[in-house]
Structure 1
Amino acid sequence: MPTVLDPGTVRLSNADVLNWIAQKKTQHAADAAADKAAGRKKTFPPDNYQRALRKHERELSARKYPYSDNPGAYEGDNRIKSVAVFTELLDERLLGPVEEKYKARIEAGEDKGVVEKELEKEHDAKGLSEAELLQIYNLAPQCVEILQNIVVDWEERFSAEEMEVVVQVITEVFRCGEKLPEIENTGR
């Protein structure tokens, strides 16, 4: 989990926030024990702060979030690795066929510079933003209809078949159960 120095400095996933809340509860318990050992009067964090922690913990602990049932993608170091596996598989399955299409055009004799510019433009369009990746990571949508609400301008960027591919990769990586899938090093 990234170190939180100041609110708003780091984008956290739901799993990271839940972990942060657990760390805060542990810290509060340690502070209370230290106060008791030193003979100081017990201090309490503000009520609104405690209420907010409980509310967020209750919400983020719900079984509706994929991290509750898929430790292979969401626990420990796999939090970062799962996003890398997701982007690698997505690039392989979405951009691979696109690159082949443009490669065939170059082999057919089209101007290489023009074709490469078009390929770069399509690559940029099919790339997911950081916010989209975070929402996909948090929710791991299992159907195209939910994914459509996450991906901005999806109609202009992806075909219906490509959206199905994205959902398949999400299911494979973020709904993997106990074990994160391994990927072959393709040199990307």
Structure 2
Amino acid sequence: MRSDARFNRIRILEAAAEVLAVPGDTSLKSIARRAGVGQGTLYRHFPSRECLVLQVYGEEVEELVQAVPALLHSHCPPLALRAWLRRLLFIGRCTPEFADAMCAATDVLSEPCRSAYRPLLEALSALVVANEKGGTIVPGTTADDVLLLLGPLWRVGTSEAERARGDRLFDVLMRGLCPSDG
């Protein structure tokens, strides 16, 4: 990648992080304007909003990916899956743009977006496979299935009552995924 293209990419990511951090206009147009680039430049680097958002939250994604081996080493597979999904749920509930990107990522076919999404999907797949090998997850369950089921929980509000409801629904989800957590 040319140095000016690399510089534009960095400016876009920085601007996106700033724009997404505050309520208001989080459109790609406002991100491009903040970065001082045209919309065409933004789309050359990030063909979709989801792709850009997943890159902005790349550090959180990397932490989730890196956590899998330690979780599987220190916990039985169902508890490792539960802990990991709880962290993913927390990130999605705190950052609605990330949750939206995760919900849409399976439908977005562009390679830049897939490459941003793939490590997270592979990390979740490792947890699902560990549970499948242990006989603790419903057979045939895929990482995409789990993300699809988790998606609505990102929409539960943040008041105390709504958090309690979200926790209860998460427990229902986990009992459905891992009915035999032995």
State the TM-score, normalizing by the size of structure 1. 0.29
Bigger Rg, structure 1 or 2: 1
Question: Which structure: greater helix fraction?
Answer: 2
State the TM-score, normalizing by the size of structure 2. 0.30
Task: Return the structure number with greater relative CO, CA threshold 8 A, min gap 6.
Answer: 1
